[in-house]
Amino acid sequence: MKVVVLTGAGISAESGVPTFRDADGLWEGHRVEDVATPEAYDAQPMVVHRFYDARRTALAAVEPNPAHLALARLEEHLGDDLLLVTQNIDDLHERGGSTRVLHMHGELRSALCRACRSRVPWTEDLGDFPPCPRCGVAELRPDVVWFGEVPYGMDEIQDALAEADLFVSIGTSGAVYPAAGFVQYAGRNGARTLELNLVPSEGTHLFDEARHGPAGQLVPAWADELLR
Ligand code: BV8
């Protein structure tokens, strides 16, 4: 049984990580779509650094929740038959025990050098323009995929969706592409599709089945069902 799981901000909500749409997409009065763009970074790098430095710092104060732990248990049983794709840039899947996580929108704990294009592990602030540990040039930016930028791992994701028997979308509003289109691609390639979300997402009608409620309850129950 080949499974592809896609997670969004909703899976980290019960860990205390705010989602994009709960704060109606605002941060310090900025719309996320206005901060998470290369144009915003070029125009006002310090505002964008403050946005990501604050979220990177906040990682220390949150813990994985039962939904993250259930997906790690699923990986233990399914191994390479499970591909976990996340839109999240937090490290809660890893801290919950998942070892193979595809961060299609990048990660807070990584920095990207605009000079040498290296992706380097990073846990400190970037707002003081530290030099790249690889090339020494002070051009490190958050290693995050902004609006208008190309997500990571699209080939691997598309291959997995084409082979999947089951596609499960957890805690995402289905508002952002290409992630929001994965359900149709998987379904067209013969996968059964399931949505686990607090409330019906924008694409809920595209799924064979949808269950609504907190991920911390729905995901462990679904994992138990699958592993039975
Ligand atoms: C691309 C990283 C081409 C940054 C993010 C016009 C101009 C330019 C582009 C476009 C355009 N029109 C459309 C586009 C494409 C654009 C797009 O989709 N825009 C939207 C606004 C229409 N997309 C892009 O630009 C992407 N790149 O298209 O490149 C391409 C395409 C294909 C192949 C190759 C190249 C890049 C988009 C990536 C942007 N970066 N994040 C950061 O984190 O700061 S997006 C960000 O918002 C998240 O990563 C996530 O992906 C997205 C949506 O957030 P969600 O995770 O869904 O969270 P949200 O708050 O929305 O929803 C939470 C859900 O959880 C809710 O449904 C809620 O009910 C539920 N929930 C809450 N609590 C719980 C819960 N569920 C369960 N339990 C709970 N307790």
Nearest CA to ligand 1 atom 21: 176
Q: Is the pLDDT of residue 41 over 90?
A: yes
Torsion sign across C-alpha atoms 160, 161, 162, 166: positive
Check if 20 has its Cβ closer than 6 Å to any atom of ligand 1: yes
Domains of the chain with CATH codes: 1-17+64-105+151-228 (3.40.50.1220), 18-61+108-144 (3.30.1600.10)
Q: Is the pLDDT of residue 23 over 80?
A: no
Check if 171 has its Cβ closer than 6 Å to any atom of ligand 1: yes
Helix residue ranges per DSSP H, the chain: 32-35, 38-43, 45-58, 66-78, 92-95, 154-163, 182-188, 215-227
Predicted confidence band of residue 21 (pLDDT cuts 50, 70, 90): confident
Average pLDDT, the chain: 95
Predicted confidence band of residue 120 (pLDDT cuts 50, 70, 90): very high
Spatial contact of 207 and 169, defined as CB atoms under 8 Å apart: yes
Q: Could you report the per-residue pLDDT of 180-195, keeping only the tens digit for each?
A: 999 999 999 999 999 9
Nearest CA to ligand 1 atom 48: 87
Q: Could you report the per-residue pLDDT of 55-111, keeping only the tens digit for each?
A: 999 999 999 999 999 999 999 999 999 999 999 999 999 999 999 999 999 999 999
* Alpha-carbon span 104 to 138, nearest angstrom: 25
CB atoms within 10 A of CB 182: 27
Spatial contact of 102 and 83, defined as CB atoms under 8 Å apart: yes
